[in-house]
Structure 1
Amino acid sequence: MNEGIRINKYLSLAGVCSRRKADLLISEGRVRIDGEISENGSKVYGDQRVTLDGRDIEIQEDKVVIALNKPVGIVCTSSKKDKNNIIDYVNYHKRIFSIGRLDKDSEGLILLTNDGDLMDAILRARNNHEKEYIVQVDKPIGDDILDAMRKGVPILDTITRPCEIYRISEKKYRIILTQGLNRQIRRMAEYFGYRVQKLKRIRIMNIKLENLKTGKWRELTREEIDGLRELTRGEKFYNEY
């Protein structure tokens, strides 16, 4: 580290958060280098001490990505103020953070990692790569409604991007999105007068939930992680390399 490493990248490599989030923490004056408040663009050299809110931050050498089958009721936050936060629930022995979110009322696949660069890449790619869900609504849904959903639905002052939908039963369907609007699937159903009773994510890009039981997690294989990196290879990071 003779040439130094920018503080936002340092926090990312330490698995604290993405670089974008790091910039916010730095601007709030919560990050210090050898006791001095850091600025955006500051560099860390050698054995300098980095702290966040007074807590020592060190770069972890071993990177990990975890797939969790999140139960309903668990919240995708690292805040200790929420007793149902996902970090305490997983209770992993290294500092990790969830990549994106899955609503409290939803269940299924979510990824967690201490690799800030991979987190940044996946978050930047979320509107270009597939996420797959199983949806159950409160009453039989017609083929005409499913077809209308495929073409796009007016919600949140925009039209949803065309998507793939496949019927499973009279009240259940599988949907593949390449978009991540707030509570998108629920809002799409509500637009046509349906209420989502159950929502489960079963795939994120090349990572599938498969037989992972509710509430359980596993570390991704090297092949799976390489697949994620390949799918996000074109995503741009900040210039602070």
Structure 2
Amino acid sequence: MTGSAEDEVRLQKVLARVGLGSRRACEELIADGRVTVDGHEATLGDRVDPAVARVEVDGVPIGIRPDLVHYLLNKPAGVVTTADDPQGRPVVVDLVPAEPRVFPVGRLDMDTEGLLLLTNDGDLAHRITHPSYGIEKEYLAEVEGEPARGALRRLREGVELDDGPTAPATVGRVGPSLLRIVVHEGRNRQVRRMCEAVGHPVRRLVRTRLAELSDPGLPPGGWRALTTDEVRALERSVADADDRR
């Protein structure tokens, strides 16, 4: 349906290759009218070029390029979230395979630790980082002092920052000076600025979850490829957020 004939592959084969089930199961998805290609309902026998076709299953865009990779990294403190640093500091792409070339999705500041997604899937990365999608990010924040109820209430309801008030956040106390904070905005150093605004600057900050992705056993500096189920869950999370926009 798209691309040159030599680049095209049967649609059910493409769907099976990215983990949507056996080829027979993928044929049933197509026959049931649950698959679209470039906005049109697919039919059995359709062929697509995975490099350019836009495929959706149940309204969820599916990455089908054969070269797509998705890495989950536990970023240590002191590493810069970029592909290159003119100051010569260590960067996150040095901690994952060099080929195929990937880029970080969103940012963690140099002193913040925790989970970071790196991929060459530009479409998925854009949808995860775009503010309008509101993908959840969960942090553990060790702060100075012991926040009282009033400070926690301000964090939950939104605090005034120099670039405007924050959206309501989910905030829970894990220990006397340890908070679990879930935000869905993507502002620069947002959690640190929120805590400082209520009088409890952050001593240590670790991101423990991105959308549905978490891995308590992943060591600092360690990485792994996402499973097919995790990639599908990420795609669904973004699609669900799109439906709420």
1:89 to 63, 86, 95: 95
> Does 1:130 find its partner at 2:142?
no
1:73 to 69, 74, 78: 78
Using the size of structure 2 for normalisation, the TM-score is 0.68
2:153 to 139, 147, 165: 147
Unaligned runs of 5+ in 2: 6-64
Q: Which amino acid aligns with 1:130?
A: E
Distance (whole Å) between structure 2 residues aligned to residue 182 and residue 127 of structure 1:
17
Q: Deviations over 1:80-139 (max 9, x none)?
A: 533311112324432111001001010000000011121122122675121100000121
Matched residue of 1:187: which SS? helix
> How much has 1:194 moved relative to structure 2?
1.9
Which residue in 2 is equivalent to 1:26? none
Q: Deviations over 1:36-93 (max 9, x none)?
A: xxxxxxxxxxxxxxxxxxxxxxxx7321100000000110111153331111232443
Which residue in 2 is equivalent to 1:174? 180
Alignment CA distance shift 1:235-1:176 (3 Å):
closer
Moved over 2 A (4+): 80-83, 89-93, 124-127, 233-236
> How much has 1:235 moved relative to structure 2?
7.3
Distance (whole Å) between structure 2 residues aligned to residue 91 and residue 223 of structure 1:
21
Alignment CA distance shift 1:216-1:165 (3 Å):
same
Using the size of structure 1 for normalisation, the TM-score is 0.69
2:205 to 199, 202, 213: 199
Q: Which amino acid aligns with 1:179?
A: E
- What pairs up with 1:8-157 in 2 under 5 angstroms? 61-81=66-86, 82-124=88-130, 127-157=133-163
- How many residues of Structure 1 are paired with residues of Structure 2 in the alignment? 180
- Identity fraction in percent: 37
Unaligned runs of 5+ in 1: 4-59, 237-241
Alignment CA distance shift 1:135-1:93 (3 Å):
same
1:162 to 150, 153, 168: 168
